[in-house]
Amino acid sequence: MLERALRGTSVGGCLSAARRAALVVAALAGCRAAAPGLVPGTLDVHWMHGAADCHQNTDPELQIHAYNATTYIIRQNKCLTFEAPFIYLLIGTRSALSLDTGAIETPALRDAIKRLIGDKPLLAAHSHGHGDHKASDAPFAAAAGVTLVANTPAGQQAAFGIAAWPDGLGHAELGDRPLDVLAIPGHEASHIAIYDRQTGLLLTGDSLYPGLLFIRDWTAYCASIHRLAQFANAHPIAHVLGAHIEMTSKPKVVYPYGTIYQPDEHALALTLAQLIELDDALIQLGPTKPTQAIAHDDFVIDPT
Ligand SMILES: [Zn+2]
């Protein structure tokens, strides 16, 4: 962690000395404590991770982890979808926001979320428009009290008040729980990141997670990650949370795409240091898209 934090700050040269010192302190502390003022939560959870023989798999369709009383992380069963995406639920005093509707069409995700939020209205948002993040849009759209965000840049702009795409900052207010929304196209054109000021969670979808970072638009992606890193560097970040796990626990080693059994998978959470490491790597690579994937300890840059 310390080595990684230091390495993450050494290339780009854009961080203040004070910020570098803060990163080192956080690394030495093992990032266990939430920054002052942030509502804490726990990631002490053993995620279901598929099976060697899915006919023998007895895991439920959904695993629901309470990060805290108003923040939930939900994973879909890898034996039902190899994508096994993570879906997030943030609950305010007036309303709630869910991020993504999963990789399989099922009412179970919607019903689980409705049970958790009671009669509060739900804004059902998407990190982006790929199929493994919107498969249950129809069950969500059919439910009372649910507003489904359209999977387009215009839809994201309208839902979060992003005046200029992608440089403008959007917002949502769930009731004593303000969110900041950044447009981060590159993996996909309508991709957003959400920052929860209450917990310091930064939700990064498929743009950064411990796995294969597929990049469709190299120029847009580099600009998006740089903007996201600058934003994160100016805000307290508890965890950087993406939508999948594809890395193993061994540095630079990724499970083959499509794997249905990951008994030795990487932790879900990444850190600000790893976001800065990604930004620095993209700056070093420059404007020309690489012709092969580049493995880092905790993610793989894959523009191919
Ligand atoms: Zn995607």
Cα 126 to averaged position of ligand 1 atoms, centre (Å): 11
Cα 129 to averaged position of ligand 1 atoms, centre (Å): 7
Label each residue of 49-97 as H, E or C: CECCCHHHCCCCCEEEEEEECCEEEEEECCCCCCCCCEEEEEECCCCEE
Say if residue 202's pLDDT is above 90.
Answer: yes
Cα 224 to averaged position of ligand 1 atoms, centre (Å): 15
Cα 294 to averaged position of ligand 1 atoms, centre (Å): 18
Distance CA 94, CA 217 (A): 37
Domain of residue 250, residue span = 2-302
Q: What is the mean pLDDT of residues 46-74?
A: 97
What's the distance, CA 214 to chain centroid?
Answer: 14
Residue type, 230: Q
Cα 76 to averaged position of ligand 1 atoms, centre (Å): 16
Question: What is the pLDDT at residue 21?
Answer: 42
- What is the maximum span of the chain, computed from C-alpha positions, in angstroms? 54
Q: pLDDT by residue (tens digit) across 61-78? A: 999 999 999 999 999 999
DSSP for residue 167? T
Cα 19 to averaged position of ligand 1 atoms, centre (Å): 31
CATH number of the domain to which 280 belongs: 3.60.15.10
Q: pLDDT by residue (tens digit) across 139-163? A: 999 999 999 999 999 999 999 999 9
pTM (2 d.p.): 0.90
Cα 128 to averaged position of ligand 1 atoms, centre (Å): 7
Question: What is the pLDDT at residue 42?
Answer: 98
Q: Work out how many domains the chain is built from and give that number.
A: 1
Cα 29 to averaged position of ligand 1 atoms, centre (Å): 33
Question: What is the pLDDT at residue 51?
Answer: 97
The per-residue pLDDT of the chain, averaged, comes to 91
The β-bridge partners of 254 are: 247
Residue type, 13: G
Q: What is the mean pLDDT of residues 38-59?
A: 96
Cα 214 to averaged position of ligand 1 atoms, centre (Å): 8
Residue 185: band (very low, low, confident or very high) from pLDDT cuts 50, 70, 90: very high
Q: pLDDT by residue (tens digit) across 16-32? A: 444 444 444 444 343 44
